[in-house]
Structure 1
Amino acid sequence: MPVAILVSVQAYYASMLGSVNGRLYLTGVSEEVNREVMQSDKLCLNGPVKAFEV
């Protein structure tokens, strides 16, 4: 799955979780995925989403 699609899916899931005060923790994230997440404005990593690199 291309990283851009993955980020879009994660952003959608994060918004659904955020609407019920849930959290999304991404663990074991590769450098490529982490870089893509950081560069996109789709996921707010200082809110309900946290990412942890490998």
Structure 2
Amino acid sequence: MGELVDKIKGNVNEAVGKAKQAVGKERRDERLADEGAAQEVKGKGQQFAGKVKGALGDDI
């Protein structure tokens, strides 16, 4: 089940990160845009971890 949880968390973090970036750029708030970019990268990492768990099994 860890695989699915990681993938869901990753998708959520990626979507929220993209939204923060868009709002940050619209408001010219570099801090918010940077925070969104970092959150998007975190989400991609979580999705990757989910894929690895799926390939190797949830026991890792």
TM-score category (smaller protein): 0.3 to 0.5
State the TM-score, normalizing by the size of structure 1. Answer: 0.42
When you count strand as a share of all residues, which structure comes out higher? 1
Compare CA radii of gyration and give the structure with the larger one.
2
When you count helix as a share of all residues, which structure comes out higher? 2
